[in-house]
């Protein structure tokens, strides 16, 4: 197997000269290359006829040819569809921004459809002056804009006990990455005046699930946002419209949607979502609690089980995503032979704190079997562990916080499969 190192440009020219010389025959090295490629000389209808004019949508939508690009659910994963999950199709995306229509979402009582004129945010508990804000009130506070990833603590959770789900949409798709606009929670807490005894906050949702979580005051006063926009426009209903909490770098369950109340207290509440759920059961029967920060993690999105190599041997682009709840990702290593040789991936796009990072690795595929893995390094020096390294510490009872290295096996046909290598 020949692997080009970073910076060495694989020779595409030899490939393409033979394959795609204009006016000649296209000897099909790529899947789309039919011999003779009649498409070159076909006059397509869109070249001859006027397109939509009057009816360009006031709010646009994707091409009809992209209907396969969608969130998907796994029906057996929750007891009822009103308590369910829709996964981001990571293998269909590129760059670092998740478009709003494709953002992972988890709901516990269905998606609430809230009239913003009838929505209020209350701050109460251990404060000098309990306050209630309308949406209009919030627009009078200084705003900030940040791109943050939101990852469910259960992302990759099925994989604790070995390779299970066949596709990065399902193994790693409980995540999205958008630009939020909102006010720092700190500003609102300062407005109410937190009493000296106030050490924790409890955000609460306005949907029928009334989600609650305990967050230490230090985090609340640091970088949490009360946000109303994602990627420039209003939050989507399934993302908490009109208001959600943003808890940068911490598990998604804490980012309470449909946010209606922030209670200030002197100790954590130990509600359902931080006791029977979102704790990590260890092999000895004890449990880790308050495991809020999302550790550095990465996944190869292409090639992957849902995105096989279709073009045969030769120049191949491998790409993926990496993120850390503790900072940026200065480096990702990639192997195509199951860890015998590691290569520095090429990072592309802005490197932002607690955001997804995009990486690429270009190589010449020799047509043989591959074992693809990626390994993220974050700005604290933390290195993404193997799944077995995690299991040594945490056993296999856990559902949450699996940030182990993912492996895809690629066969000689370019088809990929979720596997584990020991």
- CB nearer to its own copies: give 26 or 390: 26
The residue within the footprint of its own copies, chosen from 56, 276, 284, 422 (CB under 8 A), is: 56
Query: Residue 62 interacts with its own copies (CB under 8 A)?
Result: yes
The helix (H) or strand (E) run that includes residue 374 is strand 370-377
* Minimum distance from residue 356 beta carbon to its own copies (Å): 10
Query: Residue 83 interacts with its own copies (CB under 8 A)?
Result: yes
Query: Residue 340 interacts with its own copies (CB under 8 A)?
Result: no
Residues between 361 and 400 that touch its own copies (CB under 8 A): 362
* Minimum distance from residue 135 beta carbon to its own copies (Å): 7
Query: Residue 76 interacts with its own copies (CB under 8 A)?
Result: no
Long-range contacts of 283-291 (CB under 8 A, 24+ apart): 283/394, 283/395, 283/396, 283/397, 284/395, 288/394, 291/153, 291/251, 291/400, 291/401
List the 416-419 sheet strands across, edge first.
Answer: 343-344, 331-335, 370-377, 407-410, 416-419
* Minimum distance from residue 289 beta carbon to its own copies (Å): 28
The residue within the footprint of its own copies, chosen from 74, 179, 287, 371 (CB under 8 A), is: 179
Piece in contact with its own copies (CB under 8 A), picked from 137-145, 154-162, 395-403, 410-418: 137-145
DSSP sequence for 162-197: S---SSHHHHS-SEEEEEEEEEEHHHHHHHH-B-TT
The residue within the footprint of its own copies, chosen from 1, 77, 210, 383 (CB under 8 A), is: 210
Query: Residue 102 interacts with its own copies (CB under 8 A)?
Result: yes
Query: Residue 113 interacts with its own copies (CB under 8 A)?
Result: yes
Query: Residue 344 interacts with its own copies (CB under 8 A)?
Result: no
* Minimum distance from residue 392 beta carbon to its own copies (Å): 36
Q: How far is residue 298's CA from residue 26's CA, in Å, rounded to a whole number?
A: 37
Candidates 199, 221, 215, 218; CA nearest to 255 is 215
Residues between 256 and 315 that touch its own copies (CB under 8 A): 258, 310-311, 314-315
Return the structure tokens found at 207.
């949907």
Return the structure tokens found at 112.
């609430």
């Amino acid at each position: 197997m020949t692997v080009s190192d970073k910076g060495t440009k694989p020779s595409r020219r030899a490939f393409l000269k033979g394959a795609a010389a204009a006016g000649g025959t296209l000897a099909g090295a790529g899947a789309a290359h039919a011999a003779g490629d009649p498409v070159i000389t076909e006059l397509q209808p869109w070249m001859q006829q006027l397109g939509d004019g009057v009816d360009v949508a006031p709010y646009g939508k994707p091409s009809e040819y992209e209907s396969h690009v969608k969130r998907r659910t796994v029906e057996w994963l929750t007891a009822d569809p009103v308590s369910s999950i829709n996964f981001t199709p990571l293998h269909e995306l590129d760059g670092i921004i998740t478009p709003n229509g494709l953002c992972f979402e988890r709901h516990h009582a269905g998606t609430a459809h809230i009239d913003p004129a009838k929505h209020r945010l209350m701050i109460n508990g251990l404060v000098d002056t309990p306050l209630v804000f309308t949406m209009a009130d919030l627009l009078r506070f200084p705003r900030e804009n940040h791109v943050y990833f939101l990852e469910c603590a259960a992302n990759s959770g099925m994989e604790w006990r070995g390779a299970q789900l066949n596709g990065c949409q399902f193994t790693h798709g409980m995540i999205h990455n958008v630009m939020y606009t909102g006010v720092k929670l700190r500003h609102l807490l300062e407005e109410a005046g937190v009493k000296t005894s106030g050490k924790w906050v409890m955000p609460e949702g306005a949907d029928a699930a009334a989600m609650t979580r305990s967050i230490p005051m230090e985090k609340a006063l640091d970088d949490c946002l009360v946000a109303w926009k994602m990627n420039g426009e209003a939050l989507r209903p399934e993302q908490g419209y009109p208001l959600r909490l943003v808890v940068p770098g911490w598990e998604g369950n804490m980012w309470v949607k449909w946010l209606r109340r922030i209670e200030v207290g002197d100790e954590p509440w130990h509600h359902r979502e931080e006791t029977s759920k979102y704790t990590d059961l260890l092999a000895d029967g004890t449990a880790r609690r308050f495991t809020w920060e999302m550790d550095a993690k990465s996944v190869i999105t292409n090639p992957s089980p849902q995105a096989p190599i279709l073009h045969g041997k030769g120049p191949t682009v491998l790409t993926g995503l990496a993120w850390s709840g503790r900072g940026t990702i200065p480096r990702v290593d990639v192997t195509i032979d199951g860890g015998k040789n590691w290569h520095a991936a090429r990072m592309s796009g802005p490197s932002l704190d607690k955001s997804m990072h995009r990486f690429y690795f270009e190589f010449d595929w020799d047509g043989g079997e591959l074992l693809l893995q990626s390994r993220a390094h974050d700005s604290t020096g933390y290195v993404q562990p193997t799944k077995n390294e995690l299991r040594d510490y945490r056993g296999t009872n856990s559902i949450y916080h699996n940030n182990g290295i993912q492996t895809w096996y690629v066969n000689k046909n370019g088809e990929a499969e979720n596997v584990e290598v020991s």
